[in-house]
Amino acid sequence: MTRAIPNTPDRVAVARAHRADIRAGRHDRVTTGMAPGVVQANICIVPADWAAEFLRFCQVNPKPCPLIGMTEPGDPRFPMLGDDIDIRSDVPRYRVFRDGVEVEEETDIKHLWRDDLVAFAMGCSYSFEEALQDAGLRVRHLDNGTKTTVYVTDIACTPAGRFRGPLVVSMRPFMPKDAIRAVQVTSRFPSVHGAPVHFGDPTQIGIADFDKPYSGPKPDMRAGEVPVFWACGVTPQLVVEHARPPLCITHKPGHMLLTDRLNAEFSVL
């Protein structure tokens, strides 16, 4: 059964209306389930003299960092993602890192913006979740109205210059037959993390305490279910802690940039 969702023009209009609320400070909460059918993006902003290395990091780590947009230095606009996007104000909550340490959380970063900053937008698993639902699969955190459950693994990302660190994954529980279907469905979306990187025993990817995630709620597992793990766009935030750029600004997990692009545009099949 497919879900009733707005047609294409209305989807974009809904995304723009939500973005206007975020920009005006009327919404600073998670964007889970907002603007169905529209791509949400992970964000990482670095100084221009770090941008080439971060771009290379995305290129050699496409699972956690599927790049879908990049700004010019000092330009807060993302014309490839939406006509009116201003990255300084259109994310509900930002994390601000200095020398690899989070120093503050903001709802607007105009006062921090500089002429040398470059913003990167990366695909988000919220996009493939629409495809999972359209395939008849229930997504637990959407049913519960929460963020996804996120873990840090012991899988090392491919280094690029000063950027290196562990792979971060998001988890969704499924019955085994549905887990196989989830692999098939999400394989069609390589630009928004694609197929899972692991399912089953979490200790095999270095998750020692399954009940203590890095971000999000404690896992809500039901009898007979297996955990399925996808590469996650929170990965750059861990990598920044290792690389220690003088300034880096990211989205807060679960607080994404709503774009004008449609999830259907990123399906390869």
Domains 8-124+244-263 and 126-235 share a fold: no
Structural domain boundaries in the chain: 8-124+244-263, 126-235
Identify the pLDDT of residue 15.
Answer: 95
* Number of neighbouring beta carbons within 10 Å of residue 264: 13
3-state helix, strand, coil in the chain (%, to 5): 30, 25, 45
Q: What does the DSSP 8-state code read for residue 230?
A: E
Identify the pLDDT of residue 269.
Answer: 60
Please, which contacts does 12-16 make with residues 24 or more away whose CB atoms are closer than 8 Å?
Answer: 12/38, 12/260, 12/262, 14/38, 15/82, 15/258, 15/259, 15/260, 16/82, 16/84, 16/260
Give pTM, 2 decimals. Answer: 0.90
Residues of the chain with pLDDT under 70: 1-9, 269
CA 236 to CA 210: how far, in whole Å?
22
Identify the pLDDT of residue 1.
Answer: 32
* Number of neighbouring beta carbons within 10 Å of residue 178: 20
CATH 3.90.330.10 fits 126-235, yes or no: no
CATH 3.40.1640.10 fits 8-124+244-263, yes or no: yes
Identify the pLDDT of residue 8.
Answer: 67
Length of the chain: 269
Identify the pLDDT of residue 4.
Answer: 44
Contact yes or no for 171/151 (Cβ under 8 A)? yes
What tokens does 220 get?
């809500």
